[in-house]
Amino acid sequence: MSLKKKLKKPQPIPIEVPPQGIRVYVINIKQIYKAILDCLNGDFNKCSDLGLQVKDRLNEFEKRLLEFVCELNERCREFEEAKKDIAITLLWHILYTKAIELAKRFGTTKVPSPRSFWIYSDGTLKSLTSYVGGWTPCVICGAEPAVIKLAKKPTTAGEVTFDFRQSEGLPKDLNLEQLEENLSALENVFKPGESLGPYCLFKRTLYIVKRYRGELDFVSTDDVALNWKSSVVDSLASDPDLQIAFSYANLSSKLISKVDELRNVDKMHVEQVVKGILMPIQEKDIELSAKSLNISTEHLVNALSRILIETCINTSIGIDYNREPKARKLVDELLSYINEIGMSLKVFEEIMNLIKKPEIRGYRLPELCKILEVPVTFAILRSDADYIGAVHKGLKPKTLNEYINNLIAILKNALQGMLPSTKIAELSDKLSKLINIFDALSINEMPVTPARTAALSLTLVLQAITDAKIVKENHGILIYSGGDDVLALVPAQTALKAALKLRRDYGEDGVKVFVNTNPVEILRMHIPLGRSISIRFANLKDLMNVELVKAFEFLEGVAKEARWSFGFDDAQEKDTIIISDSRSGMRVVLPLGKGFALTEAAIALALLVAPGTLSSGFSEDYWSMVSGMEQAPSNALRKIFEFVLKRNVTRVEKIKLDDEIANMLKNWLDKAQNCSVEIGKGKERSNLFEQVANLVAIVRRHI
């Protein structure tokens, strides 16, 4: 039976049931509006049903409303109309902030649950469908039983391949011999050893169809990992002065000469493999490329990286930089690529402008050429706005009292000289009385109105578009952008730059959009709150579902639990970026918001490892110096950090580069010594210098 027929077979197969249930809340709005009116007219029980704690305060509410509407403090005909106006205002506010609770009293709640895959009968578990056998979980979601289990076996090359005769769930009439003859095509979409549940098998089938139709933005994480780096190598291969050295034909010839196993492989095939890895706009799969050459993935990556680095060094070394345009052009190109990684970091640009001067050349060529290595890592980028739920419910960024007082101050300033002072005072008094009216109803937050909700929704829509553009500009693949949160895959080299841009552009007052190619400035709601970000550096062979979970866990459990201190009673919560590495297990937290400039300079310092201006051994040097001194005074740690920094800066003849860089970072060093972080209440504090040392250790692996 074909896979298509198997999926369509009319049986109670689990694919017809989504893997997760959904909650449905239905609310009778008419009943709620009537309950609000009853509450405002003195029905305490209705107030309680609505979640308004106003017992013994309704008299106060009527008194305050009377003062606001009827100047003589006697009931006027506008009084009852004012109650209805407040009821309308409260209707949207209560619906928007208490919908789930209201459904229990003024509606209904439905929670559909996914059906079980097994039932308990006669003392044993029995499957509901013939497709389910045993307890092997789906390797993708872990929530479903596997319906197809692709066994694996070793090959003579030390790799693994499919063992179809030991596999389960394959159609009985499948021609295994024919399948084994087309392994390369099958390995494009399935992996030996995979066990897939029905829902994930369906998604994989959909993936195959979309890939065949050319509807996919990317095929695998290899595309993401190589996206930026392939554009760098391709630009060198296309340069008239450098194309001979970096042509794909030349690189292929060198690869054949370096790898004994390729001596008898067709040269054109090797060149196609090299192009497939290094050329942009190609479907990239390093593992399949290695298998087609009958060598291991590690062997291919290491050999190709070594050839690229050697080609780079041989093109530049031993040549007079000032006289040989080829050498000068290559170095300038590589420095420009590194500069692109740190673009928008002011201090980084200043240092790069200094070290790339021909008379200084504050870089190390072997380190500089490592930028051409074939990457085997990428970054998962996950961001989420801080307190956005509270903003939706009117709890942030200001209380009603703060908002009204700010509004009064703005109006007084704006109307000064336009209206008599007595009129301005009357207006201010009216606004102040609004606070008392809502306070009597136990509402201290900003009332959520349809206009405010619409403004916030528009802001988040525009932010989602901005975020998508940022991810694309940084050679990444957007998975989701919702305005407040982002999930994307980006090359390791552009991850830090993309993350800073996502935070910098979050909640701007104005955004530029294009209508028929004409730029239009749209004023949007300002969100003066933070946005926490998680960067998870992962290896191509890591399990994607595990790393996605880790990125989210660190975002919620670390970044959003961070409490920063900047000295002199200046502090902030959340608004943090966490950077973690799947292989080393290291993690770094850096402040955004008030500490954004500190983080920019910290990242700029770490990126100096890329051109070799800063030694890659900086982290170990600092750790050994402060071992046992973690609780030393901040000014002492500052001196140690500066000392280690200066002795790890590369030496040049013309100037004392270590002093120059230390002077450029002096302002940062002064402020960084007062910066520390606590993850969760009561936890041990960590200083910013320690975080930067960890950052350098992570950056040197991925940039």
* Domain final residue, candidates 408, 430, 445: 445
| Half-sphere exposure of residue 186: CA atoms within 13 angstroms, side-chain side | 15
Residues 164 and 57 in one domain: no
Is 355 in the same domain as 422? Answer: no
Q: Is 634 among the domain residues?
A: no
- Say if CB 477 and CB 217 are below 8 A apart: yes
Could you tell me if residue 101 is inside a domain?
yes
Query: Is there a single domain that holds both residue 75 and residue 136?
Result: no
Burial label, 556 (beta-carbon count in 10 A; 0-12, 13-18, 19+): middle
Same domain, yes or no: 10 and 72: no
pLDDT at 511: 56
Domain match, 48 and 121 both: no
Q: With respect to residue 590, please indicate whether it lies within any of the assigned structural domains.
A: no
The predicted-structure confidence for 286-325, as pLDDT tens digits, reads as follows 888 888 898 989 999 999 999 999 999 888 654 455 556 6
Low-confidence ranges of the chain (pLDDT < 70): 1-22, 72-73, 111-121, 123-135, 157, 217-218, 316-326, 507-524, 682
Question: Are 381 and 488 within one domain?
Answer: yes
Task: Give the list of residues 6+ apart from residue 25 with CB closer than 8 angstroms, or none.
Answer: 99, 100, 103, 107, 108, 109
Segments forming the whole domain that contains residue 486: 376-396+446-542
Domain for residue 646, yes or no?
Answer: no
Q: At what angle do helices 346-355 and 325-341 cross, to 10 degrees?
A: 170
Confidence at residue 119, expressed as pLDDT on a 0 to 100 scale: 59
Examine the domain organization and report whether 86 and 148 are in the same domain: no
The reported pTM is: 0.84
Q: Scanning the structure block, which residue is given the tokens 């005909």?
A: 77
On whether residue 193 sits in a domain, the answer given is: yes
Both 387 and 527 in one domain: the answer is yes
CB 441 within 8 A of CB 492: no
SS3 505: coil
Q: Domain tally for the chain? A: 5
Q: What is the DSSP annotation of 577-621?
A: EEEEETTT--EEEEE-GGGHHHHHHHHHHHHTTTTTSB-TTHHHH
**Which among 376, 377, 372, 378 has a CA at the least distance from the CA of 338?**
372
**Angle separating helix axes 688-702 and 596-607, nearest 10 degrees:** 40
Q: Are residues 12 and 72 in the same domain?
A: no
Q: Report yes or no on 451 lying in a domain.
A: yes
CB of 576 within 8 A of CB of 562? yes
Within 8 A by CB and 6+ apart from 599, the residues are 500, 577, 590, 591, 592
Nearest to 222, CA basis, from 538, 535, 552: 538
Tally the C-alpha atoms within 13 A of residue 552's C-alpha that lie toward its C-beta.
10
**Unique residue bearing structure tokens 């520390």:** 676
The domain boundary residue, chosen from 542, 577, 611 = 542
Among residues 578, 607, 602, 606, the alpha carbon closest in space to that of 340 is found at 607
- Torsion of Cα atoms, 426 then 429 then 431 then 435, to 10°: -170
User: What is the rounded distance in angstroms from the CA atom of residue 204 to the CA atom of residue 219?
Assistant: 12
Cis peptide before 397 (omega within 30 of 0): yes
CATH number at residue 478: 3.30.70.270
Q: Is residue 623 part of a domain?
A: no
Spatial distance between the Cα atoms of 703 and 701, rounded to a whole number of angstroms: 6
Residues 50 and 81 in one domain: yes
Domain final residue, candidates 384, 412, 445: 445
Query: Does one domain contain both 403 and 391?
Result: no
Token pair 């550096």: residue: 537
Inside any domain, residue 351: yes
Q: 490: which strand partners?
A: 379
Are both 431 and 482 inside the same structural domain? Answer: no
Measured CA to CA, the distance from residue 626 to residue 622 in angstroms comes to 6
